[in-house]
């Protein structure tokens, strides 16, 4: 019997606003689509939180024994600056500013995206299609939507007719927005003069003379609308109806709303059974976003080269910090929170590596089966990673009690405890074993620098300021900056 047949998984479906028992369309198989990045700049930590959240989903579904096809796209064309139907394509703009080809921009930031997620130990998706690789399919679905009467052509551009669609279907059902309110809250813009209604959105845009990225179509040389690519690529690889669609909370409207409309307009079917949305990461109490400049890059965290944190933190600790909050909760980023996560992570790893040395007895006082099921219960409750972590720390308390001799454990239970901790820590939460992490030298470097900081502090206490300054200056020469503060000395790697 597969593990998924023993465990009842519930997902919070954004469409219904309720937790629902997960039943895939085809037993034993899961189709999952997640909106990927627009590759015109470095991925920031807020973006990474979404992808780490869905890596957790992917890992747990695989752990339960499902065969998962995970599709995550790369948006490499057609995404305008204001996420609407005006402005300049972000990739084209970057290419123009740097005087390089758009595909050089795409390649540079796609490589960065993959490198960062690899550092966070994210599993790669099953398929990672690109928008530019599916232009033909996008043109074909536009033809279908036109034939079905839910779109119109105007001066070389094609727009989706939201009001016409809403007469036969329900536009706004995912975000809970009434079409009447949308009409009342919109104004006709000069750039939207080709539209019949302000709510309509582009399926195909005629390219202006200066627009670099363009393809021939029956309507004009132009480019597809941003929303269209996800409809095309999700249905191509997962079918007209599939199980799970994920993305950031900010994509619920208009992007995901438009995806639903396009799918229903083309096939007459609602494309997705379960909509999952990850919440935002905040910095300084505000949403982390490139558009406002309120963001931090993962590499800045790993090196300590930033003005937010007191020291550098490993990808492992940052991942642990993210998973200490439920994926649907707002999470605030701060130095204090990361310091707490680092302390907790180290405590958890230390306890895990001490399990095999625990003394064993003929009997066990530890109710292992109950503890293990409590971990599954947390994951089955909409992937509740903070509760799983709390259960792991319950195990840490038990390990310490066994060391103290206040409770006993059998050899069989001891081995099963280590195996179960490993499954939840490494296979499901996706943490990296601290011993493995030591192999890359990061922790050894940190330990060496901490030792030099202590020696410098002793030199200062002994009024040996020449040695103190020498340690500081030599470290600075090799790119390690010391920072003295009220709570002691911290360092960053430049």
Contact 257, 171 (CB under 8 A): yes
Name the strands in the sheet holding 272-278, side by side, starting at the edge strand that comes first in the sequence: 67-72, 29-34, 242-248, 272-278
The answer on whether 259 is annotated among ligand-binding residues is: yes
Give me the DSSP letters along 36-90: --B-SSPPPHHHHHHHHHHHHHHHHHHHTT-EEEEEE-BB-S--BTTSSSSS-BH
290 is in an annotated binding site: yes
> What is the phi/psi pair of residue 46, to 5°?
-60, -40
Which structure tokens are listed for 210? 């200066």
CB 82 within 8 A of CB 90: no
Q: How far apart are CA 372 and CA 356, in angstroms?
A: 18
35 is in an annotated binding site: yes
Taking the C-alpha atoms of residue 482 and residue 125, their distance in angstroms, rounded to an integer, is: 40
Alpha-carbon Rg for the chain, nearest whole angstrom, is 26
Q: Which of 397, 137, 432 is nearest to 314 (CA)?
A: 432
Asked if 162 contacts 260 with a C-beta cutoff of 8 angstroms, the reply is no
**230 annotated binding-site participant:** yes
Binding site residues for Zn(2+), as ranges? 35, 230, 255, 259
* Binding residue numbers for ATP: 290
Which residues carry a binding-site annotation?
35, 230, 255, 259, 290
């Amino acid at each position: 019997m597969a593990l998924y047949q023993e465990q009842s998984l519930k997902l919070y479906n954004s469409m219904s606003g309720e937790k629902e028992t997960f039943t895939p369309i085809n037993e034993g198989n899961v189709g999952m689509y997640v909106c990927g990045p627009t590759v015109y700049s470095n991925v920031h930590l807020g973006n990474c939180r979404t992808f780490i959240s869905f890596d957790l989903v992917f890992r747990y579904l695989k752990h339960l024994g499902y065969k998962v096809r995970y599709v995550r796209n790369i948006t490499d064309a057609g995404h305008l600056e204001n996420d609407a139907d005006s402005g300049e394509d972000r990739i084209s703009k970057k290419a123009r500013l740097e005087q390089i080809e758009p595909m050089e921009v795409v390649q540079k930031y796609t490589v960065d995206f993959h490198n960062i997620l690899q550092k966070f130990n994210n599993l790669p998706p099953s398929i990672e299609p690109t928008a530019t690789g599916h232009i033909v399919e996008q043109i074909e679905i536009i033809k279908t939507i036109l034939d079905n009467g839910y779109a119109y052509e105007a001066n070389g551009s094609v727009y989706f007719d939201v009001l016409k669609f809403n007469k036969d279907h329900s536009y706004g059902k995912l975000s809970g927005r009434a079409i009447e309110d949308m009409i009342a809250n919109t104004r006709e813009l000069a750039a939207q003069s080709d539209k019949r209604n302000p709510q309509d959105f582009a399926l195909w845009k005629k390219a202006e003379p200066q627009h670099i990225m363009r393809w021939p179509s029956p309507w004009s040389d132009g480019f597809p609308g941003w929303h269209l690519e996800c409809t095309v690529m999700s249905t191509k690889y997962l079918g007209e109806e599939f199980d799970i669609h994920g993305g950031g909370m900010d994509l619920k409207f208009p992007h995901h709303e438009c995806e639903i409309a396009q799918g229903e307009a083309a096939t007459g079917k609602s494309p997705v059974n379960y909509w999952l949305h990850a919440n935002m990461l905040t910095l300084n109490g505000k949403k982390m976003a490139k558009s406002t400049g309120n963001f931090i890059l993962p590499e800045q965290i790993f090196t300590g080269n930033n003005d937010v944190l007191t020291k550098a933190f490993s990808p492992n600790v940052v991942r642990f910090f993210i998973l200490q909050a439920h994926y649907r909760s707002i999470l605030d980023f701060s130095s204090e929170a990361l310091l707490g996560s680092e302390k907790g992570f180290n405590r958890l790893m230390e306890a895990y590596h001490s399990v095999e040395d625990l003394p064993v007895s003929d009997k066990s006082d530890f109710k292992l089966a109950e503890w293990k099921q409590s971990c599954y219960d947390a994951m089955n409750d909409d992937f509740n990673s903070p509760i799983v972590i709390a259960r792991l720390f319950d195990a840490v308390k038990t390990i310490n009690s066994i060391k103290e001799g206040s409770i006993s454990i059998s050899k069989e239970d001891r081995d099963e405890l280590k195996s179960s901790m490993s499954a939840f820590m490494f296979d499901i939460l996706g943490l990296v074993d601290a011993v493995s992490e030591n192999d890359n030298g990061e922790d050894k470097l940190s330990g060496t620098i901490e030792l030099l900081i202590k020696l410098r502090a002793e030199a200062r206490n002994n009024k040996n300021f020449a040695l103190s300054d020498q340690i500081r200056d030599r470290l600075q020469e090799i790119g390690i900056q010391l920072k003295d503060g009220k709570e002691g000395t911290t360092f960053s790697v430049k």
